[in-house]
A = this chain, B = another copy of it.
Amino acid sequence: MTATGSVKDRLLAGDRRVAARIISLIEDGDPAIRPLLAELFRHTGKALVIGVTGPPGAGKSTLVERMVLNWRERDRTVGVLAVDPSSPFTGGAILGDRIRMASLTGDPGVFIRSMATRTHLGGIAEATPAAIRVLDAMGTDIIVVETVGVGQSEVAIAGATDCTVLVTMPGGGDSIQAMKAGIMEIGDIFVVNKADRDGALSSQRELNAMLRLHERTPRPPVLLTQADAGEGVPTLVDTIDQYLAQMAASGGLTELRLQHLKHETLELIGRQARRQAVAALDAGTIIKFSDALRERRLDPATVANQVLSGITANHAVGCVAPTGPVRL
């Protein structure tokens, strides 16, 4: 990439190749991209950002593909970020699914991008909101963030979206159990996909019963879809549009986005403080505390406290390597 100015202008003009390259640098955690991201920020806040998550096998990719086609019929440009919070070794589950989105790849109004966790959970939690803002600044109307799985990462990514669609499928109770165990709270709209299968209505009832327990107002709707045939998808897209329109009208959307930005900032402060503390450890200290741990003289919490007081003390007098106060 050449000067920041021209890259920025090309992105603001909607250059998809530039967007792809910026997102790669974000994924790599390249600090060189920071000034550009800082400049882009004032050009963001226009896109509607929708999270789609749920257990593996629920048919999320097919559903997202149909949703995108529906928004395209309504003349809206769409970006899809498929976030795989799995390990860098296996990866793949969601990347394989991309093939099924083939119907979208020829359309210049659609931008599809898979993002994988290259390092750790913090990595993807940091990269996702930044990537969303790149697509937002590019002028994308709707941004869909699809995640696989049912864990903390999905909850983290819900902190970057305006609304979250939780997708499950009928039968077995496993999917429902998986949803119960962790991410029920983040759903604004629930979908039972593969609704042609046995048990769709009872899954819908079960979800409705669980949502009643949560006492949320308004209670999130539970819709039925059959994504491979496109059934229920226009209603789902209508429901999302209406939900977001109401959020915008009430001022709730502005407030939610501010909360998200504040939370993101606090997380960045925390992660950076953490990195600085670990980076400040010198080899001598590490060897000393390894010995203490191996011989079970000092437990991890005691070592951590001693190391941190060492770091603080030495920072105060302006030197980096902790020496004296670390009593190991």
Q: Which residues of B contact A129 (CB under 8 A)?
A: 300
> With A34-B301, A152-B153, A308-B272 in contact, do A180 and B258 touch (Cβ < 8 Å)?
no
| Given A265-B289, A270-B278, A273-B277: 13 more A-B contacts, CB < 8 Å | A38-B299, A40-B299, A45-B296, A56-B181, A84-B181, A86-B182, A130-B301, A258-B290, A265-B300, A268-B301, A269-B274, A269-B278, A273-B311
Interface pair A258/B178, CB less than 8 Å apart: no
Q: Which residues of B contact A184 (CB under 8 A)?
A: 87, 89-90
> With A265-B289, A273-B308 in contact, do A151 and B148 touch (Cβ < 8 Å)?
no
Interface pair B90/A182, CB less than 8 Å apart: yes
Interface pair B274/A271, CB less than 8 Å apart: yes
How many residues on A have C-beta within 8 angstroms of the other chain's C-beta atoms? 84
**Residue of B90, B148, B185 touching A90 (CB-CB under 8 A):** B185
Cβ of A42 < 8 Å from any Cβ of B?
yes
Choose, from A10-18, A64-72, A169-177, A242-250, the stretch at the interface: A169-177
Cβ of A47 < 8 Å from any Cβ of B?
no
Cβ of A233 < 8 Å from any Cβ of B?
no
A298 to B42, CA, bound (A): 8
